[in-house]
Structure 1
Amino acid sequence: MQPVISVHQLNHYFGEGELRKQALFDINLDIYPGEIVIMTGPSGSGKTTLLTLMGGLRSAQEGNLKILGQEMNGASKKAMRQVRQQIGYIFQAHNLLTFLTAKQNVRMSLELHERFLDQNMDEIATDILKTVGLGNRVDYYTDNLSGGQKQRVAIARALVSHPKIVLADEPTAALDKKSGRDVVEMMQKLAKEQGCTILLVTHDNRILDIADRIVYMEDGRLAANSDAVALVE
């Protein structure tokens, strides 16, 4: 089975000249179709930097980074955009547009894909909001939703286009225990139904058990035995 994300000897730097600082060191990681992988480790260890590289939100500098068969080091803007269209993103801060309703926020994701333009996007957006338990909130503006409800909208937006990969950065950080658990179980259920791969960055030890595999990052390096880390009891 070919990995959907394949990282080999990846290094990354910030700044120029004397201010140049290395953020990632010799990262090696393969993630396979349908896997749920959790990346954990201290703040400032490089987790979000690696996640943004895997999502095509930054350009790879050194080493090899292959996403869905596309080498990202040296990739054209067009190639990077085509990769991003196959990825769903879930961020800690929701990144929802407050002047749009829940349905409109989700619909925006569909509008980025030509294959949905001749379909009933309002109906598709409404259906997935029902799936995440927000059938009675589709026409609510996001300011009128709770934190857990906003994160469910963000999950619906990320998954509505049936991406091949979902990248989630601290999706439970702003949520209480029950809301956080509900959110990751919703992600797990929808992703398994759609057959997509999830890479989730978190400090939340309460959700580690949803993972097929846990990888640990510290000081810009993945732990040598990350691929073999057992699930925490």
Structure 2
Amino acid sequence: MNEQQSIQPVIDIKNLDHYFGTGQLRKQVLFDINLEIDRGEIVLMTGPSGSGKTTLLTLVSGLRSPQSGSCKILGSELCGASNKELVRARRNNGYIFQAHNLHKSLTALQNVRMGLEVHGKYSQAEMRDRAAAMLEQVGLGDKLDYYPDNLSGGQKQRVAIARALVAHPAIVLADEPTAALDSKSGRDVVNLMQKLAKEQGSTILLVTHDNRILDVADRIIHMEDGKLVNNSTKKAAA
């Protein structure tokens, strides 16, 4: 890898616009987004409901296809990408939803193992061992065979984090991961996500309304009305 490649931003967005609907119902929801995020950086995205935060997150993740501008993730352009290319891009991401999105019919271990199954390169034994080890790391080593209905809110979110991080993704994307948690559980979950991602060298982009967790950020960006209005707020030095 040459020096230019090594310093390339993990997330590199230029002049990105996005629309919902077609014809007379077509509405622009993102306007001229420009954003660079480097490897290992923890960036929190704030802004009122409806400002476009989740939409931007889904474009970065490859869950939606960017329509206009440039959205390079790990050097690959997602704007105009094929479905196959978007699937490949999603394999580099760990996505943590606001609602934990666990499958109720699967145990904690089986839910986490799903984070490996999409890669298609691990044996059944490897997937079980990796999933169990990750649950151990998030403090749920004694809950491998528990179903979501038998876990607390904080425990469910820990399972969701384990699922997102088990494949050691280059990018961790989180949409309001503390929204349904009390203060202590929310802090524990964010600290855990920060610790594991830093150990794995992952980049974190986290959408939040939770002012209690802003101190974990290397940088805070702010969106309003589909526009990035603040892209340079740095965490104060300790």
**TM-score above 0.5:** yes
Equivalent-residue separation in structure 1 for 2:178 and 2:124 (angstroms): 35
Hey, what does 1:227 align to over in structure 2? 231
Q: Note if contact 1:111-1:117 (Cα within 8 Å) is conserved in structure 2.
A: no
Equivalent-residue separation in structure 2 for 1:191 and 1:3 (angstroms): 17
Hey, what does 2:146 align to over in structure 1? 140
Equivalent-residue separation in structure 2 for 1:228 and 1:214 (angstroms): 7
- Which amino acid in the other structure matches residue 86 of structure 2? M
Equivalent-residue separation in structure 1 for 2:124 and 2:144 (angstroms): 21
Hey, what does 2:177 align to over in structure 1? 171
SS of 2:234 mapped into structure 1: coil
Q: Does 1:91 align with 2:97?
A: yes
Percent identity, please.
68
Q: Does 1:108 align with 2:111?
A: no
Q: Note if contact 1:40-1:203 (Cα within 8 Å) is conserved in structure 2.
A: yes
SS of 1:10 mapped into structure 2: strand
Gaps of 5+ in 2: 1-6
1:38-61: CA deviations, max 9, x gaps? 000000000000000000011111
1:90-113: CA deviations, max 9, x gaps? 001101000000000001111111
Hey, what does 1:129 align to over in structure 2? 135
Q: Note if contact 2:222-2:231 (Cα within 8 Å) is conserved in structure 1.
A: no
Equivalent-residue separation in structure 2 for 1:220 and 1:228 (angstroms): 17
Question: Out of 19, 25, 44, which is 1:19 matched to?
Answer: 25
Hey, what does 1:29 align to over in structure 2? 35
Q: Does 1:41 align with 2:47?
A: yes
1:135-193: CA deviations, max 9, x gaps? 11111001100000000000000000000001000000000000000000000000000
Q: Does 1:217 align with 2:223?
A: yes
SS of 1:59 mapped into structure 2: coil
Equivalent-residue separation in structure 2 for 1:79 and 1:59 (angstroms): 10
Deviation of 1:115 (Å): 2.8
SS of 1:120 mapped into structure 2: helix
Hey, what does 1:191 align to over in structure 2? 197
1:149-160 map, 5 Å: 149-160=155-166
Deviation of 1:119 (Å): 5.0
Deviation of 1:227 (Å): 2.9
- Which amino acid in the other structure matches residue 14 of structure 2? H
Question: Out of 1, 7, 10, which is 1:4 matched to?
Answer: 10
TM-score (norm 1): 0.96
TM-score (norm 2): 0.94
Q: Note if contact 1:89-1:166 (Cα within 8 Å) is conserved in structure 2.
A: yes
Deviation of 1:118 (Å): 6.5
Deviation of 1:204 (Å): 0.2
SS of 2:179 mapped into structure 1: coil
Q: CA RMSD in A?
A: 1.2
